[in-house]
Amino acid sequence: MTATTDGSSGPLKSRAATASSTTDTPFVTIASPATSDPPEAARHAAERSVEYLLSIQDAEGWWKGDLETNVTMDAEDLLLRQFLGIQDARTTEAAGRFIRGEQREDGTWATFYGGPAELSTTIEAYVALRLAGDLPDDPHMVRAAAWIREHGGIAQSRVFTRIWLALFGWWKWDDLPELPPELIFLPSWFPLNIYDFGCWARQTIVPLTVVSAKRPVRPAPFALDELHTDPARPNPGKPLAPAASWDGFFQRTDKALHLYRKVAPRKLRGAAMNAAARWIIERQENDGCWGGIQPPAVYSIIALHLLGYDLRHPVMRAGLESLDRFTVWREDGARMIEACQSPVWDTCLATIALADAGLPGDHPALVKAADWMLGEEIVRPGDWAVRRPQLAPGGWAFEFHNDNYPDIDDTAEVILALRRVKHPDPSQVEGAIARAGRWTLGMQSKNGAWGAFDADNTSAFPNRLPFCDFGEVIDPPSADVTAHVVEMLAHEGKAHHPRTRRGIDWLLAEQEPNGAWFGRWGVNYVYGTGSVVPALAAAGVPASHPAIRRAVRWLESVQNDDGGWGEDLRSYREEEWVGHGASTASQSAWALLALLAAGERGSKAVERGVTWLAATQRADGSWDEPHFTGTGFPWDFSINYHLYRQVFPLTALGRYVHGEPFAGRAPGRKGG
Q: Are strands 637-641 and 327-329 parallel, antiparallel or unpaired?
A: unpaired
Residue 422, CB-side half-sphere exposure with 13 Å CA sphere: 8
- Report the greatest alpha carbon distance in the chain: 77
Beta strands in 37-82 (DSSP E): 67-68
Question: How far is Cα 426 from Cα 662, in angstroms, rounded to an integer?
Answer: 18
142 burial level (CB within 10 Å; 0-12, 13-18, 19+):
middle
Q: What is residue 641's three-state secondary structure?
A: strand
Neighbours of 262 (CB within 10 A): 6
Question: How far is Cα 315 from Cα 299, in angstroms, rounded to an integer?
Answer: 14
Question: How far is Cα 368 from Cα 257, in angstroms, rounded to an integer?
Answer: 54
Q: Phi/psi at 476 (nearest 5 deg)? A: -75, 165
Chain mean position to CA 228: 32
Q: Are strands 630-633 and 327-329 parallel, antiparallel or unpaired?
A: unpaired
Question: How far is Cα 346 from Cα 328, in angstroms, rounded to an integer?
Answer: 17
Angle of CA points 365, 368, 371, to nearest 5°:
150
Q: What is residue 68's three-state secondary structure?
A: strand
Question: How far is Cα 426 from Cα 439, in angstroms, rounded to an integer?
Answer: 20
Question: How far is Cα 469 from Cα 465, in angstroms, rounded to an integer?
Answer: 8
Question: How far is Cα 516 from Cα 551, in angstroms, rounded to an integer?
Answer: 6
Instruction: With beta carbons less than 8 A apart as the criterion, state whether 503 and 449 touch.
Output: yes
Please choose, from the candidates 533, 581, 586, the residue with its C-alpha nearest in 3D space to the C-alpha of residue 560. Answer: 581
The catalytic position among 58, 66, 74, 409 is: 409
| Secondary structure (DSSP) of 423-477 | -S-HHHHHHHHHHHHHHHHHT--TTS---SS-SSB--SSGGGSTT--SS--SB--
Per-residue buried b or exposed e for 604-642, using 16+ beta carbons within 10 Å of the residue's own CB: ebbbbbbbbbbbbbbeebbbbbbbbbbbbbbbbbbbbbb
Please choose, from the candidates 69, 16, 116, 108, the residue with its C-alpha nearest in 3D space to the C-alpha of residue 577. Answer: 116
End-to-end CA distance of the chain: 34
Q: Phi/psi at 172 (nearest 5 deg)? A: -85, 135
Residue 103, CB-side half-sphere exposure with 13 Å CA sphere: 25
Question: How far is Cα 454 from Cα 444, in angstroms, rounded to an integer?
Answer: 9
Q: What is residue 152's three-state secondary structure?
A: coil
Please choose, from the candidates 584, 528, 538, the residue with its C-alpha nearest in 3D space to the C-alpha of residue 559. Answer: 584
- Is residue 66 part of the annotated active site? The answer reads no
Q: What is residue 564's three-state secondary structure?
A: coil
Q: Phi/psi at 257 (nearest 5 deg)? A: -65, -35
Sign of the torsion angle spanned by Cα atoms 664, 345, 530, 395: positive
| Residues with a known catalytic role | 409
